[in-house]
Amino acid sequence: MGNTEFSENDILSKAIEQIGSRLPPSWQVTPKNREMGSTDHAWDAWVEFKAPTGEGVCLALEAKRSIDPREVSHLVAKGRPPKGWAPVLASPFVNPSARDLLRKAGWGYVD
């Protein structure tokens, strides 16, 4: 996402746009109710990406202006989204060490 200072809303918008741009144009991108959540963590955004066939993926997004590898364990410890939703970190830059830790914890990322 570059090296500019973004608000968390900007980060989320750019992440959703970036993910959507990698999908075929026939896929639908649907933001979901922000009140959804696991019992122990409020997620920044919920987005469903759906193919015309009905298949798709549901992402629970967490926006961070920056992330340090030391912060990944704290982020992951906050909890997981409900079943059927994949946790994804959105940040302007995720360094290789943080990426590795996120993958090992079952998280995705977009930067």
pTM (2 d.p.): 0.86
21-29 long-range contacts (CB < 8 A, ≥24 apart) are: 23/49, 24/51, 26/51, 26/52, 27/51, 27/52, 27/56
Q: What is the pLDDT of residue 19?
A: 95
- pLDDT for res 5: 75
pLDDT (0 to 100) of residue 33: 72
Tell me which of 51 and 39 has the higher pLDDT.
51
Span 60-86, average pLDDT: 92
Would you say residue 108 has pLDDT above 90?
yes
Give residue 3's pLDDT: 54
CA gap 3, 89 in Å, rounded: 17
